[in-house]
Chain A
């Protein structure tokens, strides 16, 4: 075959089998992930008093039940308070410590860095009852305060981790520039450092809040009649009654989390946050 003189005609693109195969698998996978969640949302609108298909009809009665059955709403509020409170305390403790660990090269800093991240490695149930005994011994016992303390212990590593990653990636040039321009340490912190590491703080706090809202093994030990978190209440309800009200309260909780994430995505973008 010799090289032709004229240009060959337009060609069809070869289909990329690998891309299509993987793409189909991803669709199957995402269906697998979302299917049970979708099922719960659908069931929450069922008019039956038990879980069965096909659903006899649609109704909002289970959403109304959320307000009738006091423990649901009460515990949702407690969960939100604990989640946000523990994240706030986590920021207060974790951010300054992370800022020091990130720039210090001593072995003490490395050790403290490991300490900051340690709670993630501890199984929640073990931490839960260990902390229960300690807090009882020092008089705090089973209470809202105990819940707050235990959730803060878990929040600190999530916040420290992302702040460490973001701050380490930040060149010290910015703070040095601020210093040359006359800023004191405090001014540098507020005007230069904190704004630049804000994505790290937000990402870590988001993780901490989500983990806290869903943290059953830890909260399980500190529940009182007045202050229980939502997962604990849901579990005990589920073990006695198997009706769609669980579906309704779950859907509400999910909507709160999804809304928060969408707001965060609009302001910062998910890709950047999960990268940190």
Chain B
């Protein structure tokens, strides 16, 4: 390319096109991902929703399955249980996990890496392994029962393994790292000098926590709660393997339905309800976090 010879410079600056900011990627770079997800995420879910109002009983009455789910006492009982389990798990992980997160951010220092590793290590193991571990501990001849009978605290082994409480223990065990890590991510951004300011102004440790630290970490709490709630909603392994099947949630029902019946429309409707509840939680979190607008 040869340079054009310029005999005289233009009197005024030539106009240039707008938006000449440098950008590496162009829109076409996103195309493969978009097509892939449209095909294998959006399409299946849309088809699923469609099936739930056209197949089986829904062929005659589109909302048949949804009515069944919402109005039948058996199914509304399952909704209630699902909601209850998720809520209790969320609250437990929050109360048990927040102090751990606070310690990690404010006090741990060089132990932080070790605690972090212990937090992440369970996530590296299969959920089957962890659930199996609880069975090992709590079975009739599991470790806990053996210790209890050997030390004479009880005369016969306890039937813990079939108690619904075990399901909560298992869920909290699985979900706790998610909650702790969500909170630490936000808590790290809360400047320790804000807490020091409050102390100089006369607040003792508890008041500093309630007036300063807690409000400023609300984003992390919200994120953690939503995360735990949604994941618990969708989990069924813990309910399947622990608690003797006494805790019946929606996900577990879908799993069982799929194994047993061929009622595609019904399974589709249940799945849709689960999906909608998950989307609702995500939307709620997005609204809540954005509205606070607190910059850490």
Q: Is the CB of B25 within 8 A of A99?
A: yes
Among B103, B230, B278, the most chain A Cβ lie within 10 Å of the Cβ of B103
Interface status of A247 (Cβ within 8 A of chain B): yes
Query: In whole angstroms, how far apart are the Cα atoms of A18 and B136 in the complex?
Result: 35
Q: Is the CB of A104 within 8 A of B120?
A: no
Q: Is the CB of A238 within 8 A of B32?
A: no
Q: Is the CB of B234 within 8 A of A271?
A: no
Which residues of the other chain, A, contact B27 by a CB distance below 8 angstroms? 100, 104, 108
Which residues of the other chain, B, contact A32 by a CB distance below 8 angstroms? 173
Which residues of the other chain, B, contact A127 by a CB distance below 8 angstroms? 41, 44-45
Chain B 78-110 interface mask (CB, 8 Å, partner A; 1/0): 000000000000000000110110111001100
Query: In whole angstroms, how far apart are the Cα atoms of A250 and B136 in the complex?
Result: 13
In the assembled complex, the CB of B141 is this many whole angstroms from the nearest CB of chain A, namely 4
Among B126, B271, B275, the most chain A Cβ lie within 10 Å of the Cβ of B126
A18's contact among B176, B205, B237, B258, by CB below 8 Å, is which?
A: B205
A33's contact among B47, B119, B146, B185, by CB below 8 Å, is which?
A: B119
Which residues of the other chain, B, contact A81 by a CB distance below 8 angstroms? none
Interface status of A69 (Cβ within 8 A of chain B): no
B173's contact among A33, A54, A130, A172, by CB below 8 Å, is which?
A: A33
Q: Is the CB of B45 within 8 A of A94?
A: no
A153's contact among B41, B124, B264, by CB below 8 Å, is which?
A: B41
Interface status of B201 (Cβ within 8 A of chain A): no
Q: Is the CB of A258 within 8 A of B24?
A: no
Which residues of the other chain, B, contact A94 by a CB distance below 8 angstroms? 33
Q: Which residue of A lies closest to B259 (CB)?
A: A220
Which residues of the other chain, B, contact A18 by a CB distance below 8 angstroms? 205
A36's contact among B119, B137, B237, B279, by CB below 8 Å, is which?
A: B137
A104-139 residues with Cβ-Cβ distance < 8 A to B are 104, 108, 112, 115-116, 118-119, 121-127, 129-131, 133-134
Q: Is the CB of A25 within 8 A of B29?
A: no
Interface status of B233 (Cβ within 8 A of chain A): yes
Query: In whole angstroms, how far apart are the Cα atoms of A116 and B241 in the complex?
Result: 33
Which residues of the other chain, A, contact B135 by a CB distance below 8 angstroms? 51, 242
Known contacts: A34-B122, A92-B32. The answer to whether A214 contacts B127 by CB under 8 A is: yes
Q: Is the CB of B130 within 8 A of A118?
A: no
Interface status of B251 (Cβ within 8 A of chain A): yes
Query: In whole angstroms, how far apart are the Cα atoms of A167 and B201 in the complex?
Result: 40
Q: Is the CB of A100 within 8 A of B139?
A: no
Known contacts: A53-B146, A104-B27. The answer to whether A29 contacts B100 by CB under 8 A is: yes
In the assembled complex, the CB of B97 is this many whole angstroms from the nearest CB of chain A, namely 8
Q: How many residues of A contact B (CB 8 A)?
A: 89
Interface status of A58 (Cβ within 8 A of chain B): no
Q: Is the CB of B267 within 8 A of A175?
A: no
Interface status of B40 (Cβ within 8 A of chain A): yes
Which residues of the other chain, B, contact A52 by a CB distance below 8 angstroms? 141
A182-234 residues with Cβ-Cβ distance < 8 A to B are 185, 188-189, 193, 210, 213-214, 216-217, 220-221, 230-231, 234
Query: In whole angstroms, how far apart are the Cα atoms of A189 and B24 in the complex?
Result: 7
Interface status of B210 (Cβ within 8 A of chain A): no
Query: In whole angstroms, how far apart are the Cα atoms of A22 and B268 in the complex?
Result: 47
B127-144 residues with Cβ-Cβ distance < 8 A to A are 127-130, 132-137, 139, 141-143
Which residues of the other chain, B, contact A122 by a CB distance below 8 angstroms? 41, 45, 275, 278
Q: Is the CB of B107 within 8 A of A23?
A: yes
Interface status of A162 (Cβ within 8 A of chain B): no
Known contacts: A96-B33, A123-B278, A130-B45. The answer to whether A216 contacts B251 by CB under 8 A is: no
Q: Is the CB of B47 within 8 A of A134?
A: yes
Chain A residues within 8 Å of B, Cβ to Cβ: 18-19, 22-23, 25-26, 29-30, 32-37, 39-40, 43, 51-54, 92-94, 96-97, 99-101, 103-104, 108, 112, 115-116, 118-119, 121-127, 129-131, 133-134, 149-150, 152-153, 156, 160, 172, 175-176, 179, 185, 188-189, 193, 210, 213-214, 216-217, 220-221, 230-231, 234-235, 238, 242, 246-247, 250-251, 253-254, 257-258, 261, 270-271, 274-275
